[in-house]
A = this chain, B = another copy of it.
Amino acid sequence: MKLYGYWRSSAAYRVRIALNLKQLSADHISVHLVNNGGEQHSESYHHLNPQHLVPTLVDSNELGEFSLNQSLAIIEYLEEKYPKINVLPTNLEDKAVVRGMAQAIACEIHPLDNLRVLQYLVKEMGIDEGQKMQWYAHWIHLGFSALETQLERYAGEYCFGNKVTLADICLIPQVYNAKRFNVPLAAYPNIVRIWENCHQLDAFIQAAPEQQADAS
């Protein structure tokens, strides 16, 4: 398998964690989201991912190579193809709760705070740096407050009980991002605790942005 990603992309970071947890290896290919006007817009990458986003997973079957887009779709694919070490509970209700927490991050926080959105706000909407930081922190606080309430009910060592799941896979990159933008997290004791617990695990440590070959 080949994983096209970028060290600081939260979505690529999720897939790296999932690969590590599931003890799968892939060749990591860097798509630099900033250099050269953004390598995700190149002709060659367009064929792999018309959305011009990372990550893309390239895998193969008996018919040849194929590419998959969107981090959660990629992780669900890996989960079904390699079920031995699972990142989703098997019980239907539990699985839905975990997917719901993952999507609360992937659909409600991350899309509003990612690089291309912040760039568009500044360049096209004319907001200033202070407003950009306000925007960034607003969606973190709104999303983390709701998640913290859910974690009071469901969390153990990790987001859902005492086993790492897809919810942790989505949470950790989002916390990494929030820390990078200096958003204070003291109001979210469960989130902070889960962050610390996950960082005891090699799968998370090795997936961290600074550990990637393209980190700069």
Q: List chain A positions with a Cβ less than 8 A from chain B.
A: 46, 50-53, 59, 61, 66, 68-70, 72-74, 76-77, 80-81, 92-93, 95-97, 99-100, 102-104, 106-108, 110-112, 117, 120-121, 124-127, 131, 134-135, 138, 143, 145-147, 149-150
A143's nearest neighbour on chain B, judged by CB, is: B51
Known: A74-B96, A111-B111. 8 other contacts (CB 8 A): A46-B149, A69-B104, A70-B107, A72-B103, A73-B96, A77-B96, A107-B107, A126-B127
A88's nearest neighbour on chain B, judged by CB, is: B76
A125–B127 contact, CB under 8 A? yes
A125–B120 contact, CB under 8 A? no
What's the Cα separation between A2 and B145 when bound, in Å? 25
What's the Cα separation between A209 and B134 when bound, in Å? 34
**Smallest beta-carbon distance A78→chain B, Å:** 9
**Smallest beta-carbon distance A105→chain B, Å:** 10
Which residues of B sit under 8 angstroms from A102, Cβ to Cβ?
Answer: 73
Contact of A99 (CB < 8 Å), options: B46, B73, B106, B150: B73
A124–B117 contact, CB under 8 A? no
What would be 5 A-B contacts, judged by CB atoms less than 8 Å apart? A50-B145, A52-B146, A68-B93, A72-B99, A112-B112
Which residues of B sit under 8 angstroms from A50, Cβ to Cβ?
Answer: 145-147, 149-150
Contact of A70 (CB < 8 Å), options: B69, B70, B100: B100
Which residues of B sit under 8 angstroms from A138, Cβ to Cβ?
Answer: 120, 124
